[in-house]
Amino acid sequence: MLDMQWIRDHAEKVQELARLKKIDVSVEELLAADRRKRSLFRKTEALRAARNQASRDIGAMLQQTGDTKAAEALKLQVKQLNQQLNVLESELEQVEKDIERLMLLMPNEVSADTPSGQSDADNVEVKRVGQPPLFDFEAKDHVSLGEMHGMLDLQRGVKVGGTRNYVLKGTGFMLHRAVQQLALDLLIARGFTPMEVPLLVRREALQHTGFFPLGQDQVYQLEAADRWLVGTSEVPLVSCFSGEIIDVQEPMRLAAATTCFRSEVGSAGKDVRGLYRVHQFAKVEQVILCENDVELSERLLQELTDNAERLLELLELPYRVVAVCTGDMSQKTYKQYDIETWMPSRNAYGETHSSSMLLDFQARRANIRYRDAKSKLRYCHTLNNTAVATPRILIPLLENHQQADGTVLLPKALRPYMGGLEKLVPADRQTMGEEGTTSNGEGESNSGY
């Protein structure tokens, strides 16, 4: 949410930001409602003052002169003033609702170095790490590999949950958990506090964090309880501190590993094969709350992005970092980097991580503040990043590390979480007890879960 005075001072800029971020809202309608509110407020204050003065005059008159006729005339005046007040207060209440509705649609500003553009095709590459593999054999996609290794069952997933669902089993389940634990261990080592948070949240939690009202069609609702299933633990991590005054002398670094849900409305026919775009997935999310300082936020954005990059390096995957353009940004974002990992079956990089800097947009909505060096209350800045999202990360993990004989090499960093396995062997060869796997695809992990 933006400061109202800032909107008044930058009306044309805010309207242009709404156009760039493809938000259908009129800034002039908001300003007209704001002017109406201030006018009504002045009128109601004047009427209250007149009513209160008349009430005092009635008491003084009865006490000093006993003129009951004049007192009755003043009482009638007070009654009329109250009637006028009721009308104005009702109008004021309605215009305040209009302002709140419009304010929730206002876009956050964007950084000066955010590229202009209409879609993800206009995002600008800023960094590329690693080389896509060159296979001297006919490479398989992650679905074929998953089925060959007995770790993926799409048909049963659809049978149970409908389209865009899946079942992971055996080493598929172990990989799914292993990448989460690797990411969580990385963040803990870098000073993040892990938290277990609610996945069913109140409407205000999604509104506080900027996912409502514009993103409401992407969120599953439990109507009877008026609770919503989150698509990222960013929502509860930030909302835990709504309405609070917190200590951010040292940036508050938080992490959570949770199941997430997304309706994928509007994606019909898009990425329908495999694990790229599914309704249920898991994420290790990192969130930072810090002082209201753009330079500090910029450094922390780089830190969050570096954490995600480090995970990809541990997974030995080629990737690139892109600066997200205005047309590919959400309402709440000030600056954003996406990390895209090479996916051989797509012959392209696919988004696997996203780092966002929001300034005080969320904190204003959620009323999260801190005291600065002069004890003045200020709104915090918030940032977030996906350290890892799975099963999507399994796409490049399987496809990039596949071998000509059908095995899949495991990155060294993952092996301790996979019971010491060095490679995955197709299901029809596991009973042979081939080196690097077990006879049933199981392994005792030392990851602690």
- Nearest Cα to 228, choosing from 257, 207, 203? 203
Half-sphere exposure of 106 (CA within 13 A, CB side): 29
Backbone region of residue 260 per phi and psi (left: phi > 0; alpha: psi in -120 to 50; beta: other values): beta
| Complete DSSP assignment for 26-67 | -HHHHHHHHHHHHHHHHHHHHHHHHHHHHHHHHHHHHHHT--
The residues that are catalytic are 262, 277, 351, 354, 392
Calculate the alpha carbon distances from 91 to 33, 43, 392 in Å.
11, 11, 51
Residue showing tokens 């209201």: 292
CA separation for the pair 186, 372 (Å, rounded): 31
Phi, psi angles (nearest 5°) of residue 81? -65, -40
Query: Inter-axis angle of helices 294-314 and 171-189, to 10 degrees?
Result: 140
The answer to whether residues 329 and 114 touch, using CB atoms and an 8 Å cutoff, is yes
SS3 189: helix
- Nearest Cα to 125, choosing from 304, 311, 303, 325? 325
CB atoms within 10 A of CB 397: 25
Amino acid at 130: G
The H or E element spanning position 257 is: strand 252-261
Local structure of residue 238 (DSSP, 8 states): H
**103: Cβ contacts below 8 Å, ≥ 6 apart:** 1, 2, 4, 30
Residue 287 CB-density burial (10 A; 0-12 exposed, 13-18 middle, 19+ buried): buried
Long-range contacts for 177-180 (Cβ within 8 Å, ≥24 apart)? 177/417, 177/445, 177/447, 177/449, 178/414, 178/417, 178/418, 178/445, 178/447, 179/315, 179/388, 179/390, 179/393, 179/394, 179/397, 179/414, 180/257, 180/282, 180/284, 180/388, 180/390
Phi, psi angles (nearest 5°) of residue 325? -85, 170
